[in-house]
Amino acid sequence: MHLSARKWVLTVIASLVLLLLPAGVALAWTDVGTDDLEAYGLTQADLEGMSQGYPDGTWKPYDSMSRGQFIKMAVEAWGVPSANPEIPSYVDVPEDNVFYEYIETGTAAGLVNGKGDNQFDPFGPLTREQAAAIIARWMAGTDGYDLPTYFTATEIDALLDRFGDGAQVSASLKEEVSFAVDWKIMRGSTDGLLTPHAGLLRIQGAALLVRGTQQATANGLTADSITVGMGGATGSFSGDEEDLGFQLAFQEASDNGGVHGREVKFISYPGAVTTADKVANAKKLIEEDQVFGIVNFGGMPLALALAPYVQEKQIPYLFPHTGAGAIHGLRYVFPSFPYYEDECRYMLKYLINELGYQRLAIAYADNAYGYLFRDALRAESETLGYEVSAEQAIEDMNPTTLATEVTALRDSGAEAVIMALYVEQAQKLLEEKGAIGWDDVQLVSTGPLTDADTLDVPGGYGEGTIGLSFYPDAATSQEPGIVAFREVMEEYHPGKVVNNYSLYGYVYGKLILAGLEAAGPNVNRERFIDAMEGLDNWSSGGIMPPVSLSPSNHHAQPWAFVVELRDGILSALTDWINTAE
C-alpha cells in the first residue's frame, strides 16, 4: 500500500474511536461543528485527512462537490500513484488546471473516464452515482473483485429495487452503484430513495469516501482468506476449550478447500484476564488487525461490554459463550445458547413443581452473571411459593477455600442450592460440600457449568447434580455430529480429551461456516449477516436441534434438556425443551 494510503487508513481507524468530539476541543474550521460531524458519521480527523479547507478558515461542508474536488480528495486519501502523461487526457483539463494531476491519476488508475469527447468537466457538479462509481472501482481494484462479473443481472436488479428510484441509475453505472449499495457505501435516504442524479455536498462526499475506505481496508478479506479475531488463551479451562473448538472447525474447513476457495484464518492475543484487557484485545483486533468479525469472547460481563461497541462499528460478533439476554436484537450480534433468564425460570419451576423443593439457596459469582441468577431467584419466590434460605456471593474466581460459605448454605436448611458460578468456583464448592459430609442437598448447575468433566470432581461429590445441558455428552454420544467432532479432534489433536466446551466451539464454528458458504463468493460483512439471517433448519447432526435465524431473531439455540450427573456421566431426565416458550 502507498505510504500516504497507510497514513490515511490509520487516521480513519483512530478517528473512529470517537463519534463525538469531547467538550472543549477546538474544531479546525469555523463552519464545521460537532453536530455536522455527528450527522454524517465523521470526525475532525476524517475531514483533515481529505482537505485542509480554505485559507479563510472554512471547510465549506455544504458547498456543492465538483468533479475535480472529489477525485482530488479520493486519490489523495487512497494514495493512488501519481500519473503525469505527456499529452493531457482531456481537452478541458490542461496541465495548468488545479486538478490536472489528480484527474490524470484517477484516469490512469481506472477510477474515472470523463464525460465523452475528451471532456472531463472538472468544475461541474458530481452526482451521487458518479461518486459511488469512483469508490466502487477503487474498492474492487484494491480487494481483487471483478466488477463486470461480481453480480448477475438479477442480483443487480434486486439490489437497486430496494429503492423507489433504483431504476433511475444510469445503465452504464449499474454495476458500480449496485456494488456501493451492497457494501453499504450508498445507503439511500430515510424515504427509501437513492437520488442517483442528485449532486453531492462536500461533507456528503467525505462521508462516502470514509465509508469506502473503511470497507476496503478493514474488512478481513483477501482473495484467498477470511480472517476473524478470537480471544486467545487465558488459562480459563472453559474459554480456552471453546476457542479450541472454533479453531478446529476453521482448520478442518480450510484444509478441505476453505469457503468458496478462501481459507478461514484466526488471530488472537493471549494472556488477557480482566474484562478490560479482553475488551482492549477485541478493539485491537477490529481497529488495528481489521478482522472480518470476532468470535466467542465469551462471558456475560465481556459480552455486555462488547455488544454496543460492535454494533457501532458494524462488526459481526459471533456466538459469545454467554446466555445474556441483553445482547438480543442487535444486527451484528449472534447469541448462542439459552438465555439465562429463561434457563433460570424453567429450572426453578422444575425444582418446585417436579421435585417438590421449598427452601432454595444460591451460591453466585460476584458479578453481573451471578447477579442475574440471584435476582431471578428472589423475583420468582412469591410466584412459585418457595423460600430463599441463603445467598452466598463468591468473589474470588479461583478460590482456595469456600468452607465458610458452604457451611452457611448448609446451616440455612437449604434443600437445593443453585450454583451460578464459574468452573473453578463450582469445583471448590463441590469439594467443600464433600469435606463437611453434606449429602442431603440437591445441587443445581447453571449455564455452561453443566458439563460432566467440570462436575465430576474427585470423591464423586458432584454426583446427583442436575442442570440444563445444551448438548449431548461429547465423549459418549452417538449423534452423527458428535461422532464427527470426536474424529476431527483426534485427527488434529491426537489423544485430546473432548468435552462439551470444545464441542460448543466446534458446532458454532460450523454454523459460522454455513453462513459464510451461504453468503457466496462475493462475501462481505453485510452479505454474511443477511446470509446468517436466512439460515433455515440448519442441521448440526444432532448436536442441537435445527437452527433457523431471521432478521428479528439471531438466537441460535433456545433449546436444552435437564440432566443429572450419574457415575460421572450426564444422563438426560427430559427431552429437548424450548426454554423461551
Which backbone phi and psi does 195 adopt, to 5 degrees? 45, 60
Residue 6 has pLDDT above 60, yes or no: no
Q: Across the chain, what does the average pLDDT equal?
A: 91
* Mean per-residue pLDDT, 43-72: 89
pLDDT of residue 120: 97
pLDDT above 60 for 18:
no
End-to-end CA distance of the chain: 53
Going by the DSSP 8-state scheme, the letter that residue 168 receives in this structure is: G
CB 282 within 8 A of CB 229: yes
* pLDDT above 60: residue 26: no
- Contact, 53 vs 29, CB < 8 A? yes
The answer to whether residue 322 scores a pLDDT higher than 50 is yes
* Residue where the block lists cell 446427583: 464
Instruction: Flag whether pLDDT at 12 surpasses 50.
Output: no
Predicted structure pTM score: 0.73
Residue 21 has pLDDT above 50, yes or no: no
Ordered DSSP codes for 321-357: S---GGGTT-TTEE--S--HHHHHHHHHHIIIIIT--
Q: Which helix (H) or strand (E) holds 245?
A: helix 237-254
What does each C-alpha distance from 272 to 240, 367, 369 come to in angstroms?
A: 12, 18, 19
Higher pLDDT, residue 260 or 522: 260
364 DSSP β-pair partners:
393, 420
Which DSSP string corresponds to 224-235? TEEEEEE----S
Q: Express each pLDDT in 201-239 by its tens digit.
A: 999 999 888 888 877 666 888 889 999 999 888 888 889
The Cα 527–Cα 537 span in angstroms is: 19
Q: How high is the pLDDT of residue 307?
A: 96
Say whether pLDDT at 45 is over 80. Answer: yes
- Other Cβ atoms within 10 Å of 329 Cβ, number: 12
Q: Is 40 exposed, middle or buried (0-12, 13-18, 19+ CB in 10 A)?
A: middle
Confidence of residue 492 (pLDDT cuts 50, 70, 90): very high
Number of C-beta neighbours around residue 307 at 10 A: 21
Largest CA distance in the chain: 95
Q: What is the pLDDT of residue 8?
A: 40
The second-level CATH assignment, the architecture, of 340-469+563-578 is 3-Layer(aba) Sandwich (3.40)
Do 271 and 248 meet the contact criterion of CB atoms below 8 Å apart?
no
**443 forms bridges with which residues in the sheet?**
417
Of residues 569 and 11, more confidence is placed in 569
Distances (CA, A) of 34 to 24, 25, 85, 133, 298: 11, 10, 42, 29, 35
Confidence of residue 50 (pLDDT cuts 50, 70, 90): confident
Nearest-10 crossing angle of helices 300-313, 368-384: 110
> Which residue has better confidence, 201 or 17?
201
Q: Is residue 48 very low, low, confident or very high in pLDDT (cuts 50, 70, 90)?
A: confident
Span(s) in the chain for CATH 3.40.50.2300? 221-338+477-550, 340-469+563-578
Q: Which residue in 524, 551, 530 sits closest to 183, CA to CA?
A: 524
Residue 82 near residue 7, CB atoms below 8 Å: no
* CATH 3.40.50.2300 is the classification of domain 221-338+477-550: yes
Is the pLDDT at 575 greater than 90, yes or no?
A: yes
Q: How confident is the model at residue 470 (pLDDT cuts 50, 70, 90)?
A: very high
Q: How far apart are CA 466 and CA 215, in angstroms?
A: 48
Residue type, 404: T
Say if CB 332 and CB 315 are below 8 A apart. yes
Residue 1 confidence (pLDDT) above 50:
no
Question: What are the φ and ψ backbone dihedral angles of 156, each rounded to 5 degrees?
Answer: -60, -45
Residues 6+ apart with CB under 8 A from 205: 65, 69, 70, 73, 126, 131
Lowest mean pLDDT among 123-132, 177-186, 512-521: 177-186
Q: Are 231 and 272 in contact (CB under 8 A)?
A: yes
Q: Which residues of 142-181 are buried (b: 16+ CB within 10 A; e: fewer)?
A: bbebebeebbeeeebeebbeebebbeebeeebbbbbbbbb
Residue 116 has a pLDDT of 87
pLDDT for 412: 98
Q: Is residue 447 scored above 90 in pLDDT?
A: no
Confidence of residue 305 (pLDDT cuts 50, 70, 90): very high
- On whether the CB atoms of residues 331 and 346 are closer than 8 A, the answer is no
25 has a pLDDT exceeding 70: no
Give bridge partners of residue 294 from the DSSP assignment.
Answer: 229, 317
- Report d(CA 68, CA 298) in Å as an integer: 49
Q: Is the pLDDT of residue 277 over 50?
A: yes
Q: Is the pLDDT of residue 364 over 60?
A: yes
pLDDT band at 187 (very low <50, low <70, confident <90, very high): confident
In terms of phi and psi (left: phi > 0; alpha: psi -120 to 50; beta: otherwise), the region of 236 is beta
Cβ contact 27:34 at 8 Å: yes
pLDDT at 107: 96
Contacts by residues 267-272 (CB-CB < 8 Å, ≥ 24 positions apart)? 267/227, 267/228, 267/229, 267/230, 267/291, 268/229, 268/230, 268/231, 268/232, 268/233, 268/243, 269/232, 270/232, 270/233, 270/234, 271/232, 271/233, 271/234, 272/231, 272/232, 272/234
For residue 562, the cross-strand partners are 468
Reported as a pLDDT band with limits 50, 70 and 90, residue 264 is very high
Sort residue 282 into left (φ over 0), alpha (ψ -120 to 50) or beta: alpha
